[in-house]
Amino acid sequence: MVADFLRTETNTIKQKYCVKLGNFDDLKIVIMGIIKVENIRVFAYHGCLKEESKIGSNYRVDLKVKANLQTSAKTDKLNDTVDYVFLNRIIKEEMNKPAHLLETVCRRILDRIFNEDALVTKASVSVSKLNPPIGGDVERVTIKMTDKRKK
């Protein structure tokens, strides 16, 4: 934690120093971008109740990933970015595997994203069970998990 703070402070000082001297060649700032894939609707079989695994439910998944998008912005090539079709496929595949807990599904989605796309540095996923069977008029229950790439 202290090492991260010192590294950040050192980089900030170096950046200010380079700008002040006009030495922009040494100034390496990576401008991050965000890709969101929102309101993915899926029918799946998650839950602790036996009925949930038999009749299934409607779910909503929202995903936000952070990555360096500068190269793809210049090259205009799909290989240089995080493909949101790929992200959507991961979500659908992981939602298709039944689990008792939405936390498990979120973790699986995050693990796949970090294992299969090296450009992603941070990701947040929200999985919402719509009309959950919890004995009341509840629109949805949502689990949100965020993780970042281990260096």
First vs last C-alpha separation in the chain: 13
Mind listing the pLDDT tens digit for each residue in 1-54? 554 544 555 454 444 444 454 555 555 566 789 999 999 999 999 999 888 888
- 4: which 2 tokens? 């991260």
- The mean per-residue pLDDT over the stretch 126-132 comes to 94
Residues 5 and 54 in one domain: no
Residues 50 and 20 in one domain: no
Residues 18 and 37 in one domain: no
Residues 118 and 68 in one domain: yes
Residues 23 and 35 in one domain: no
Residues 53 and 17 in one domain: no
Nearest-angstrom CA–CA distance, 12 and 19 = 11
- The mean per-residue pLDDT over the stretch 110-138 comes to 94
Q: How many domains does the chain have?
A: 2
How big is the chain, counted in residues?
A: 151
Residues 116 and 84 in one domain: yes
Strands 32-44 and 120-130 turn out to be unpaired
Share of the chain above pLDDT 90, in %: 69
Residues 75 and 131 in one domain: yes
| pTM (two decimals) | 0.79
Residues 44 and 115 in one domain: yes
H/E element, 55: helix 50-55
Contacts of 35 by beta carbon, 8 Å cutoff, 6+ apart = 64, 65, 67, 69, 81, 82, 84, 87
Residues 56 and 110 in one domain: yes
How would you label 4-33 residue by residue, b for 16+ Cβ within 10 Å and e otherwise? eeeeeeeeeeeeeebeeeeeeeeeeeeeee
Amino acid at 38: E
Residues 53 and 110 in one domain: yes
Enclosing domain of residue 21: 1-29
The domain that holds 56 is classified in CATH as 3.30.1130.10
Is the pLDDT assigned to residue 96 strictly greater than 50? yes
C-alpha gyration radius of the chain: 20
Q: Which residue has the tokens 């990555």?
A: 67
Residues 21 and 74 in one domain: no
